Structure 1
Amino acid sequence: MKNYSLKRLFDQPIIQTRDVKPSVDGFDVLGAFNPAACRVGDEFILLLRVAEAPRPEAGWLHIPVVETVDGLPTLTVKTFREPDGPYDPRVVTLNGKTYLTSLSHLRLARSKDGVHFTIDEKPFLFPARPDEAFGIEDARITFLDGKYWITYTAVSEHGPAVGLATTTDFKDVTRLGVILPPPNKDVCLFPERINGKYVLMHRPMVHEIGKPSVWLAESVDGIHWGNNRFLFGPTAAEWEIQKLGAGPEPILTDEGWLVLYHGASSTSAYSLALVLLNRNNPDHILDRSANPLLTPELTWEREGFFPNVVFSNGWVRWFDQDQNRERIWVYYGAADDGVGLAELTRND
């Protein structure tokens, strides 16, 4: 993929954690990052992942969880003594059970120019099912069959699964439940049917044998998925040797399906790269990046809640009337603490 470049449009984030208000009284926003993206009419739409947690208290851990109370999803806070020794500030095991220390949801942001966003004060999609008890994370948006399909990671004590919701106007949303069980994430749908079937990419989270890699699956109704098969996985290159996963929905070019993906190094530094798939047979890889197109280099990409990360699950292809040309803008999360903007260009 030497004929593509991914260059930052700004050397500062366009959205920072402090730009987002908490949705729950007594909570703090720990991060606003990893947005899904699309264009609706003349608006740019982002679905931010917003991670919140109860305000800290010395000596105590307050863990947010959505539980079913009297048949209704209810946000509860579990309180534990803080562990004596060092512990992961994101994931903690207490009394034999593992919890996330924050709860994520999806927050809508709108913009006319794609740079300056107005962020809703309330969630667009908040955890509301047992399989979302620990949060909703890292959405992707695909426009298909006249509506916007939103895939996201639904996290619970049973692991990360893949949820699906749809909307036509980003006002009302229909939840369709879990379409892939744990452990799985990083799901994006192709924006058109291929050989009459819906197709998606997903990332089973293998552990004992193999490394987390990109797989394909297909469906006749968009709900029930099968014919799963391996597509591509990590190489021996250090920047993607640990694991990788697909980013936003593929873009159809005159060469084939262009896919943005992330790779993680042995030190868990995340970078962005491309792969090109055959239009009619996406099992066939035509080209793939030998080196990353974007790596964490700036201070706000290297320092944050989870350092050394550039991660994208949202891009927008649009026609710039002022410059009379088509553009592809890539929105990326940086260090789980903000959103950057880069542009993908074809060098030739």
Structure 2
Amino acid sequence: MKNYQLRRLSDQPILKTSDVTPSIANFDVLGAFNPAACLFNDEILLLLRVAEAPKAEAGFIVIPLIEEQDGVPSLVIRRFPEPTEPYDPRVISLDGKVYLTSLSHLRLARSKDGIHFEIDDKPFLFPARMDESFGIEDARITFLDGKYWITYTAVSEHGPGVGLAVTTDFVNVERVGMILPPPNKDVALFPKKINGKYMLLHRPMVSEIGKPSIWLAESEDGVHWGNHRFLFGGRGHASQDPLANPFGWEGGKIGAGPEPILTDEGWLVCYHGANPLHSYSLALALLDKDDPAHVLDRSSLPLLSPELFWEREGFFPNVVFSNGWIQWPADSDKAGQIWVYYGAADSGVGLAELVRL
């Protein structure tokens, strides 16, 4: 993929955590990042991941989550004495259970020019099921069969799985439910059927055996998925020496980004890779247009890595992560341009253009 570059359109984030208001009284917004993106009518829409948490209380860890109250999933706040030992401020084990210290939802933002956004005050999708009890994260949007399919990571005590919702107007939304069980995430739907089948990219999560990788799956109805096939995985390994480990930038984690884009050459796929130190970069792969199980080309070096201060410092440092891009329509003054929206350090949103050389 040497014939492509990702060029930042701004040296500053186009959206920051401070731009987003809390949706719940006495909560703080800890991060606004990793947006899905699409064209809708004459606007660009983003679905931001917004992480919120109750205001800090001295001497306590305050945990927001969804629990069943009289059989109804409801928001509750749990308080635990603050550990005396150092702990991760994002994920913590208390009384034998693992919790997230924030609760994420999806928030809608709208723009005419793709740069200046108005952000809704209230969530578009808020956790509402027990398989979403720890939050809704990192959506992707695909326009398919006359509606917008929204895939997202649904997190609970059982791990991250993949949820699906659909809408035609971004006002009314139908929650279809979980389409891939834990542990799985990073699902991107193809925007058209291929050989009569719906298709998606996904990332099963591995433990002792195997390495992080991107898989392909197909479906007759877009809800029930099968024929799962390994597509490609990270080529790096545990060494942090760049000479001994030239693909180390994707050796720690790998996952698909936004929906694939069909080009004359094939399906263009944006994906992220992380090195052993958890620094995230962006790259590209090219899949055969008729048989996307066939990888035609792939980046040997990342196209975008965390370099600017706001990409290196934040809620989770050293991250550029994209799950949203748009291709400007032929009747616009930016016809054909591909704009890539990316989360930066889990604290804001940057914007780059994908340029073919």
1:101-180 to 2 correspondence within 5 Å? Answer: 101-180=101-180
- Partner of residue 186, structure 2: 186
Of 258, 280, 297 in structure 2, the residue corresponding to residue 270 of structure 1 is 280
Cα distance in structure 2, aligned partners of 1:50 and 1:115 = 19
Secondary structure at the residue paired with 1:283?
Answer: coil
Cα distance in structure 1, aligned partners of 2:72 and 2:334 = 51
- Partner of residue 29, structure 2: 29
Q: Contact between 1:261 and 1:274, CA under 8 Å: does it hold in 2?
A: yes
Q: Does residue 1:83 correspond to 2:83, yes or no?
A: yes
- Partner of residue 285, structure 1: 295
- Partner of residue 45, structure 2: 45
1:289-300 to 2 correspondence within 5 Å? Answer: 289-300=299-310
**Taking every aligned residue pair, what percent have the same amino acid on both sides?**
72
1:299, distance to aligned residue in structure 2 (A): 0.1
Give per-residue Cα distances to partners, 1:175-222, cap 9 Å, x unaligned: 000000000000010000011000000000101111111000100001
1:333, distance to aligned residue in structure 2 (A): 0.1
Give per-residue Cα distances to partners, 1:231-274, cap 9 Å, x unaligned: 00001211111110000000000000000000000100000000
Cα distance in structure 2, aligned partners of 1:196 and 1:322 = 31
Q: Contact between 1:320 and 1:327, CA under 8 Å: does it hold in 2?
A: no
Q: Contact between 1:137 and 1:153, CA under 8 Å: does it hold in 2?
A: yes
Q: Contact between 1:244 and 1:264, CA under 8 Å: does it hold in 2?
A: yes
Cα distance in structure 1, aligned partners of 2:69 and 2:230 = 40
Cα distance in structure 1, aligned partners of 2:56 and 2:205 = 31
Change (3 A) 1:322 1:145: closer
1:58, distance to aligned residue in structure 2 (A): 1.5
Paired residues in the alignment total 347
Change (3 A) 1:125 1:345: same
Secondary structure at the residue paired with 2:99?
Answer: strand
The residue type equivalent to 1:14 in the other structure is I
The residue type equivalent to 1:189 in the other structure is L
Cα distance in structure 2, aligned partners of 1:302 and 1:243 = 18
1:321, distance to aligned residue in structure 2 (A): 5.3
TM-score by length of 1: 0.99
Secondary structure at the residue paired with 1:125?
Answer: coil
TM-score by length of 2: 0.96
Could you tell which deviates more after superposition, 311-320 or 246-255? 311-320
Query: Structure 1: which 4+ aligned runs deviate by more than 6 Å?
Result: none
Secondary structure at the residue paired with 1:248?
Answer: coil
Secondary structure at the residue paired with 2:328?
Answer: strand
- Aligned CA RMSD, in angstroms, stands at 0.9
1:322, distance to aligned residue in structure 2 (A): 6.3
The residue type equivalent to 1:213 in the other structure is S
Cα distance in structure 1, aligned partners of 2:222 and 2:179 = 9
Cα distance in structure 2, aligned partners of 1:217 and 1:284 = 13
Q: Does residue 1:74 correspond to 2:84, yes or no?
A: no
Secondary structure at the residue paired with 1:127?
Answer: coil
1:337, distance to aligned residue in structure 2 (A): 0.1
The residue type equivalent to 2:280 in the other structure is Y
